[in-house]
Homo-oligomer: A and B are copies of this chain.
């Protein structure tokens, strides 16, 4: 049986799956530590390598048609070439994408369209006739609009603005204090600078809960996140040649997949712009993108570049 390996190399774990190239059926899997090479190249690479080796212990290596990796932040500074060279000793056919592209393949099953990622961070990727287009995805310092980190940051800014304007702390501000276990904005900011962006982003679960309980400030923040993602899709339509008459959008990441308020505000935004959209929901691991990519390559087989 011929198979293709897909690896979703994330910040906390590396998931590897092997798929039967004829049926798409999952035939083996392996899990290892984080695969984010920007954080620690050597350790990340050792996790990636050990995942692949685990698959080869289960399945005949010579039947592997290729290895497809999705790695965050892989687009810059010659990283792709380095990864490719380092993995050549394991297998001659290596395809490297960023994590958003692998998600796009997985959710849209290789078809043209847009994949909106909004989890801790955010990015909007478009694929049209083998060309890639990207909006955002610049990380928490300079972008990530509509992401969980962005929502948390807006809420924190409201709390700081309460202080600057001598307002009494709102219920939302009090919930933020409680979540981070502090008593005032001075302790809050001191604490926040000691936390990771993931820790800060986790505040968004509280905001989502408050919105469900009727807090209007929390609801407004979630709506704004949806609008930010909607704006990014509109920018994508201007940038790419994708058509608004018939657009497929894949949804990826907890904020856009699970938060009804963010999704409905996002959807209204597209409706206001007369975009005729079909949504695609994630049905399997992003690693499954490897299978769809391979099928497409087999059918059409030529190299693709980011625009």
**Nearest chain B CB to A153's CB is how many angstroms away?**
7
Query: Is A165 in the interface zone, CB < 8 Å from B?
Result: yes
- The answer to the question of A190 belonging to the interface, with a C-beta cut-off of 8 Å to chain B, is yes
Q: Is the CB of A142 within 8 A of B156?
A: yes
CB proximity of A7 to chain B, nearest CB, Å = 21
A186 to B135, CA, bound (A): 12
A168 shortest CB reach to chain B, Å: 14
Instruction: List which A46-90 residues lie within 8 A (CB) of chain B.
Output: 73, 75-77
A157 in the interface, Cβ–Cβ < 8 Å?
A: yes
A126 to B110 alpha-carbon distance, docked (Å): 59
Q: Is the CB of A239 within 8 A of B165?
A: yes
Name the B residues within 8 Å of A76 (CB-CB).
184, 186-187, 189-191
Residue in B142, B166, B238 whose CB lies within 8 Å of A160: B142
Within 8 Å CB of A220, what residues of B? Answer: none
* Contact partners of A135 in chain B: CB under 8 A: 164
Cβ of A169 within 8 Å of any chain B Cβ, yes or no, is no
Shortest CB–CB separation between residue A74 and chain B, in angstroms?
A: 10
Pick from B134, B138, B165: contact of A235, CB under 8 Å:
B165
**Chain A residues numbered 86-131 whose CB sits less than 8 Å from any CB in chain B:** none
Q: Which residue on chain B has the smallest CB distance to residue A188?
A: B76
A-B contact pairs, 29 of them (CB 8 A): A38-B190, A38-B193, A73-B190, A76-B184, A76-B186, A76-B187, A76-B190, A76-B191, A77-B186, A77-B190, A136-B164, A138-B185, A138-B189, A139-B189, A141-B141, A141-B153, A141-B192, A141-B193, A142-B153, A142-B156, A142-B157, A142-B160, A142-B192, A143-B157, A143-B160, A164-B235, A165-B235, A166-B239, A166-B307
Given contacts A76-B189, A141-B193, A164-B235, list 4 more A-B pairs with CB under 8 A: A77-B191, A139-B189, A142-B157, A143-B160
> Which A residues fall within an 8 A CB radius of B?
38, 73, 75-77, 134-136, 138-139, 141-143, 153, 156-157, 160, 164-166, 184-187, 189-193, 235, 238-239, 307
